[in-house]
Amino acid sequence: MAATEQRAWHVGTYEPLAWAETAVKAVAFLVAYLALVQALGRTLHSPDGIHIAEIVLLGVAELGLLLAIGDRLIGRELIAMVFVVFNNVAHVGMLYALLAVPGPGGLVSLFCLFMLTGEVVKIAWLRTTHFTVRELSALTVQALVVAYATIYLVALIVWQFLK
């Protein structure tokens, strides 16, 4: 019976900082969706120079988020599953916008700023709760989030200072 209960979809218990992370990242998702809508119907280009760095950074983030879908399927937590789907759509949308001419402009910086802020909130939440994922230690989970925060920070630096 316990194995059946663990395999059922459920809604987890979330701390206020987890909800704050969700809210901040939801704003980032809206920014990405706006960039995608603006890019639809535009001409796409082959990236060069700094555009390659932009796409690589968000592409690496997207690859990790694709893997996260599998993790959410294993965990069967409903809110986390819905969130990761919206997160993937936002990243793919921003990648598409980066390929459009003209690109997303300042929206990509806003997206990365809100995603970075969300990761910082998530780090605070993880440190206060010592949250783990299955066999991963709390420190490993925190390191993964720091890696994502680093991606968004580097992206902000690239777009603000190298463009």
| Structural domain includes residue 8 | no
| Structural domain includes residue 91 | yes
| Structural domain includes residue 16 | no
Q: Collapse the DSSP code of 128 into the 3-class scheme (helix H, G, I; strand E, B; otherwise coil) and give the result.
A: helix
Contact present, 114 and 28 (Cβ < 8 Å): yes
Which amino acid would we find at residue 59?
G
Instruction: Please tell me the predicted confidence (pLDDT) of residue 136.
Output: 86
* 29-39 pLDDT, tens digit each: 999 999 999 99
| Structural domain includes residue 3 | no
Count CB atoms within 10 A of the CB of residue 63.
Answer: 11
Let me know if 16 is exposed, middle or buried by CB neighbors in 10 A (0-12, 13-18, 19+).
exposed
| Structural domain includes residue 5 | no
| Structural domain includes residue 17 | no
| pLDDT at residue 161 greater than cutoff 80 | no
Closest CA to 158 of 109, 117, 114: 109
Range with lowest mean pLDDT among 18-27, 95-104, 126-135: 126-135
Residue 162 is classified by DSSP as -
Work out how many domains the chain is built from and give that number. 1
Instruction: Please tell me the predicted confidence (pLDDT) of residue 4.
Output: 46
* 26-70 pLDDT, tens digit each: 999 999 999 999 999 999 999 887 888 889 999 999 999 999 999
| Structural domain includes residue 4 | no
Q: What is the pTM of this model?
A: 0.91
| Structural domain includes residue 7 | no
Domain that holds residue 48: 24-161
